[in-house]
Amino acid sequence: MTELLTAAQMRAIEQAAIASGEVTGLELMERAGRGVVEAIFEEWPELAPGAGVAGGAAPSVQGTSPPEFSGQNEDGAHRAVVLCGPGNNGGDGFVVARLLKEAGWEVEVFLYGDAGKLPPDARVNYQRWGEMGEVLPLTPQAPPELAHRHIVIDAMFGTGLARPLSELGPFLRDICDCVDAGGSLMLQERWPYWPPVVAIDIPSGICADSGRPIFDEAVAERIRRGSSAACAAADLTVTFHAQKLGHALASGGFWCGKIVCADIGISSPASRTLPRSELVKMASDTGSRFKRNGHKYSHGYALILSGSVGKGGAARLAARGALRVGAGAVTLGCPPAAMIENAAQLNAVMLRKIKAADALNVALEDTRINALCVGPGMGTGPREAALLAACLEQTRPGASPGRGVVLDADALTLLAQNEALFAKLHAQCVLTPHAGEFARLFPDIAEKLAAPATKGPAYSKVDATREAAKRAGCVVLFKGPDTVIAAPDAQCSINASVYDRSAPWLATAGSGDVLAGFITGLLARGFAPMNAAESGAWLHTECALSFGPGLIAEDLPEELPKVFRALGV
């Protein structure tokens, strides 16, 4: 997990740096533009000065001839189109145009908006560029030619996007087409028709706080007809200082392509999110550190409630996850009829008959049990509702011993159906809904999140999860490729499986049950609910990355020892 900022936080950091005299806005813009150019040359070394493409043919692929068009003008220069917008994102674009021109490129610059209204720093860079080349108007009626160029720079809108880019939609479609068509091709193969698109800060049209494209009904209709796009896709996005929420949430990761964060030399207040090093430390705590001495029960004891005959797989996966993550002992509590089935499948996990709520209360007289997991494969009948009520009662803050409880799957369905149960939620609980479960539990919040984003900053998954956590009075882990974890006091983390942490194979049956087990095991180890949820989610992704494609849920707990070893535990 890395520190992610909102657009407002980034502006505040920038303003503080300027106010302290550390740097001027103009210097920041220069560094931003330089960061973009450096990232381009790093990503495509064949475009870097002295790489041998300029003045010669485009590099060939595996000894084959270069494409008919090699992309250079008659002087052999590389060619770039820079699309600038009316704010400081456009200002960055003018810097990039100047730096590329200084590197010998042929650069065409277009401005969307009125040059007279550019903010001061952008205007200075507009004027500096004006001494080197012309600026043409970017109009939807006469969009610039993108083919036969080496790079397209999207500097139209960044963190200041406030409204839908309605009239630019058809042109954005062309940009998306470049990215779509070129996606699987090597750079030299995509030329001359599909130049790579480099977005400055964030692809234009994407809200930096939510990762959602901002569009209105008119654009939505045009998108449905295929004649428009809501935002400009990118092959490479270069952002500054720190990634923004919109790079990780919703479809942000998809539209950004690859992301690079350029250092523009400003210091900022300490991170309020959990850095990776902290998680590594916490992950280490789940392994050897707490196990240097003591006995199994001093490492935590988890009780996982299971469903009836034939429904025990989910709870068994959770139990295995809890044990592997480091709980000293794990018991699976199941209806008597399911004992034989579970006994045939389990060894290290212990078994106990729990027919109904009274049996659960007896089981919980064992004060060594300090974490519970309720819901995976459990069922949603009256027995299960009573079990859930008993669990909530037995884990309430102040009860002795202190216990944490993970509520997943069928427990979430029961909570959605039963207001009285929902009202019993408390600070020791962790809810782990996927999108469907979240919508059943918090329909009004889900509706807000699903409503089209028509202005920025748009309502985000972070907003939704925070609101849900506050209402429920407990930690909510809202699953997805952009998992968001929030506590009632508004603490929030994102565990996004995007970019180099992308693990689409994690979307496999039973994977959520293992996650519930990981969190339960960490609660048993004494982690606070928020830390247990954050670390569980992070380890879950690490296991998926470590295993790779082909992963099934059973593999996740078995991968943990390898992940711990890699962490130096």
Ligand X SMILES: NC(=O)C1=CN([C@@H]2O[C@H](COP(=O)(O)OP(=O)(O)OC[C@H]3O[C@@H](n4cnc5c(N)ncnc54)[C@H](OP(=O)(O)O)[C@@H]3O)[C@@H](O)[C@H]2O)[C@@H](O)CC1
| Contacts with K ion, residue ranges (CB under 5 A) | 154, 199-200, 204
Q: How far is the CB of 79 from ligand X (least distance, A)?
A: 23
Nearest to ligand X of 100, 516 (CB atom):
100
Bridge partner list, 496: 482
Fill in the DSSP letter of residue 338. Answer: G
Number of residues in contact with ligand X under rule CB under 6 A: 28
85 binds, among ligand X, K ion, none (CB under 5 to 8 A by kind): ligand X
Cα-based distances in Å from 18 to 6, 12, 89, 244, 568 = 18, 10, 18, 20, 41
Structure tokens at 155: 């500097």
Is 162 known as a binding-site position? Answer: yes
Containing 331, the helix (H) or strand (E) segment is strand 329-334
78 touches 53 (CB < 8 A): yes
**Stretch of residues binding ligand X (CB under 6 A), selected from 24-32, 365-373, 463-471, 479-487:** 24-32
User: Which range of residues in 26-34, 190-198, 314-322, 381-389 is near ligand X by CB under 6 A?
Assistant: 26-34
User: Among the candidate windows 53-61, 153-161, 276-284, 494-502, which touches ligand X by CB under 6 A?
Assistant: 153-161
Closest CA to 516 of 371, 309, 331, 360: 371
The torsion region of residue 567 among left (phi > 0), alpha (psi -120 to 50) and beta comes to alpha
CB of 343 to ligand X, least distance (A): 60
263 annotated as belonging to a binding site for a ligand: no
String of DSSP letters for 358-385? HHHHHHTT-TT--EEEE-TT---SHHHH
The single residue among 36, 107, 165, 230 that binds ligand X, judged by CB under 6 A, is 165
* Strand (E) or helix (H) holding 357: helix 357-363
CB of 464 to ligand X, least distance (A): 23
**Residue 263, Cβ density class (10 Å: 0-12 exposed, 13-18 middle, ≥19 buried):** exposed
Is-contact 90 116, C-beta < 8 A?
A: no
Are the C-beta atoms of residues 551 and 505 closer than 8 Å to each other?
Answer: yes
In angstroms, what is the minimal distance from the CB of 164 to ligand X? 6
53 binds, among ligand X, K ion, none (CB under 5 to 8 A by kind): none
480 is in an annotated binding site: yes
240 binds, among K ion, ligand X, none (CB under 5 to 8 A by kind): ligand X
- Annotated ligand binding at 539? The verdict is no
Closer to ligand X by Cβ: residue 247 or 311: 247
For ligand X, which is the closer residue by CB, 161 or 468?
161
Of these, 6, 88, 413, 465, which contacts ligand X (CB under 6 A)?
Answer: 88
Which amino acid is residue 139, in one-letter code?
T
For strand 475-478 and strand 429-431, is the pairing parallel, antiparallel, or unpaired?
A: parallel
Region near ligand X per CB under 6 A, out of 160-168, 302-310, 341-349, 525-533: 160-168
Of the candidate spans 49-57, 152-160, 513-521, 559-567, the one that interacts with ligand X by CB under 6 A turns out to be 152-160
159 binds, among K ion, ligand X, none (CB under 5 to 8 A by kind): ligand X
Rule CB under 6 A: is residue 209 a binding residue for ligand X?
Answer: no
Residue with tokens 């339960």: 520
Contacting residue, 160, 170, 452, 480, with ligand X by CB under 6 A: 160
Q: Please state whether beta strands 301-305 and 197-200 pair in parallel, antiparallel, or not at all (unpaired).
A: unpaired
Cis amide bond preceding 213, omega within 30: no
CB 338 within 8 A of CB 312: yes
Smallest distance from the beta carbon of 563 to ligand X, in angstroms?
A: 36
Contact residue for ligand X among 164, 203, 246, 253 (CB under 6 A): 164
Based on the shown chain and the rule CB under 6 A, indicate whether residue 111 belongs to the binding site for ligand X: no
Q: Which helix (H) or strand (E) holds 392?
A: helix 382-394
Q: How far is the CB of 31 from K ion (least distance, A)?
A: 17
Query: Nearest distance from residue 227's CB to ligand X, in Å?
Result: 18
Residues 43, 92, 410, 542: which binds ligand X (CB under 6 A)?
A: 92
What is the nearest approach in angstroms of K ion to the Cβ of residue 559?
Answer: 38
What single-letter amino acid sits at 57? A
Q: Is 86 near ligand X (CB under 6 A)? A: yes
Find the binding residues for ligand X in span 228-267 (CB under 6 A).
240, 264
Residue 199 interacts with, from K ion, ligand X, none (CB under 5-8 Å by kind): K ion
244 is in an annotated binding site: no
Q: Which residue has the tokens 């087409």?
A: 177
Amino acid at 157: F
366 labelled ligand-binding: no
Taking phi over 0 as left and psi of -120 to 50 as alpha, with beta for the rest, 76 belongs to left
Instruction: Choose one: 28-36, 146-154, 300-308, 408-416; the region binding ligand X (CB under 6 A).
Output: 28-36
Hey, which residues between 183 and 202 contact ligand X (CB under 6 A)? 200-201
Q: Please name the residue that has the structure tokens 């970019």.
A: 499
- What is the secondary structure of 262-321 as a DSSP string? E--S---PPPSS--HHHHHHHHHHHTTGGGSSS-GGGG-EEEEE--STT--HHHHHHHHH
**Between residues 167 and 366, which has the closer beta carbon with respect to ligand X?**
167
How many whole angstroms separate alpha carbon 328 and alpha carbon 345? Answer: 19
> For residues 124 and 487, which CB has a smaller minimum distance to ligand X in the complex?
124
Specify the residue, 135 or 421, whose C-beta has the smaller distance to ligand X.
135
Q: Is 497 annotated as a binding residue?
A: no
Binding residue numbers for K(+): 89, 154, 204
The binding site for (6S)-NADPHX consists of 88-92, 158-164, 201, 314, 377, 434, 513
Which residues are at the interface with ligand X (CB under 6 A)? Answer: 10-11, 14, 28-29, 32, 85-92, 119, 157-165, 200-201, 240, 264
